[in-house]
Amino acid sequence: MQTHISTTPFGRRPMTLGHIASQMTAKAVSPDAVAHKWQVFQDIKDARIALGATDRALAILDALLSFHPETALYGDSELIVWPSNEQLIRRANGMPPTTLRRHLAVLVECGLVIRRDSPNGKRFARKGQGGEIEQAYGFDISPIVARAEEFKDLAEAVRSEKKAFRLVKERLTICRRDIVKMIDAGIEEGVPANWGRVQQTYQAIVGQIPRTAPRQTFEAIAEELEGLWAEVRETLESFVKTQKVDANESRNGRHIQTSKPDSKFESENGLGGRDEAGGNVADTDNVRSLPKRELPLGIVLDACPNMLWLVKGGGGIRNWREFLAAAEVARPAMGISPSAWEEARMAMGEQQAAITIAAIYQRQDQINSAGGYLRSLTDRAKAGKFSVWPMVMALLRAKLDASKTTGNEAEAAAVELETAGKIVRTESRLEISDALRRSLDRPGRGS
């Protein structure tokens, strides 16, 4: 007795060596072999690229496997399914018939299924008197059993490669982050090294990282970065060991990592002799008693004339915008990191932070670490214990003292020194030089 379950013509298809190889593999399957079809299907999905299968082809394979009633597939059992194209399209979530035929061919080419053509090219099953299937024509899924171990090995290799790729990407990320932090710390702490060269080397290595490439390419770049990481780390550790010895031998016992400036500048800016770490109520009160108005640009430039050296073309600084641009040039020149500069701007405001940079730049030869000193002032600003007025006035006093010691314009220096003191203590009428009066330019004040 013959029963047609479905009738779908195959048409004429060429026989290839790949088809013959798949059939040979299927014939070689051991009768005792057994495979869990969905576990093998998962391995095939993981090894899809290595097998040359497409996503659509795997969707069709999923549908084909669903037409076999058993989950466990045995080597000695009948492993042919014969669904029609309409049934396959429905279970494969819908696709054009031409697409279906194209991806069925992919499954055959990859050796995942074997075509079992009937004499008339249609898919059907012939049953005997007892209802048992005697002969079936359609798709043979025996390669799922015959190649189960091969698919498993391929899948494990793909998973291992993905894991190795993820690990090398993590190495790159961690190494890049650590190098940037160490360079930042080296600059801020004043560690003697050619940090410009280190940054250039870092950028050159990072610039080699492609968007997509084999794992081996990323491995080579990671090794270069790790070599630079070791070099920078050794520089910092050597510096720390040296400074620990120096700190033990110094008379004040101060640790090198405090990054405080010399006491001369501290006393000149009005902060010397106080506990900079904690501060007290008097610190806050003194800051609150200072003038609330902004410092005139002319006063700042008079106190910090070195900023004029940073102007391109030797021109002057005519407004705050040009002053801020000069501060942006002074910051990297002193080795102040972008993070320290950004933190200062957030705590003080952009203009006040720029004035602070100018004051530090004016006396950078007296400061051990410009970056560390800026961070110290930023912390005081966050606590409301810092103002740029005392720093600028201290620089003005130092300038006038220097003029007085040389014997030039001694009388004028005494007058302007007194004036500078009055600016800090009061906002009353000032007796100053014409140039300084024009710089102050305080609208609304009595002259």
**Chain segment 87-131, per-residue pLDDT in tens:** 898 888 888 889 999 999 999 988 899 988 777 777 877 776 766
pTM of the model: 0.47
The answer to whether 282 and 419 have CB atoms below 8 angstroms apart is: no
Residues 6+ apart with CB under 8 A from 403: 409, 410, 413
- The confidence band for 10, taking pLDDT boundaries of 50, 70 and 90, is very low
Q: What pLDDT does 224 receive?
A: 93
Sign for the pseudo-dihedral over CA of 165, 167, 173, 176: negative
Residue 39 pLDDT exceeds 80: yes
Residue 294, CA distances (Å) to 240, 325, 417, 432 in order: 41, 18, 20, 19
Q: What is the rounded distance in angstroms from the CA atom of residue 86 to the CA atom of residue 97?
A: 8
Lowest-confidence pick of 273-277, 342-346, 436-440: 273-277
The answer to whether 284 and 384 have CB atoms below 8 angstroms apart is: yes
Residue 221 pLDDT exceeds 50: yes
Residue 389, CA distances (Å) to 237, 291, 322, 372, 385 in order: 39, 8, 20, 20, 12
Please give the residue that has the higher pLDDT: either 291 or 321: 321
The answer to whether 61 and 107 have CB atoms below 8 angstroms apart is: yes
Element (H, E) at 111: none
Query: Mean per-residue pLDDT for 255-284?
Result: 39
The answer to whether 100 and 57 have CB atoms below 8 angstroms apart is: no
Count of C-beta atoms within a 10 Å radius of residue 194: 10
Residue the block writes with tokens 């050619």: 194
Instruction: Give the DSSP letter of residue 377.
Output: H
Residue the block writes with tokens 């214990």: 385
- The confidence band for 377, taking pLDDT boundaries of 50, 70 and 90, is very high
Tokens of 56: 């659509």
Note the Cα 32 to chain centre separation in Å.
54
- The confidence band for 14, taking pLDDT boundaries of 50, 70 and 90, is low
Residue the block writes with tokens 């899809």: 48
**Cross-strand partners of 139:** 81, 115
Q: What is the rounded distance in angstroms from the CA atom of residue 434 to the CA atom of residue 305?
A: 18
Residue 140, φ and ψ in degrees, nearest 5: -90, 120
Q: What pLDDT does 174 receive?
A: 92
**Cross-strand partners of 133:** 127
Instruction: Give the DSSP letter of residue 36.
Output: E
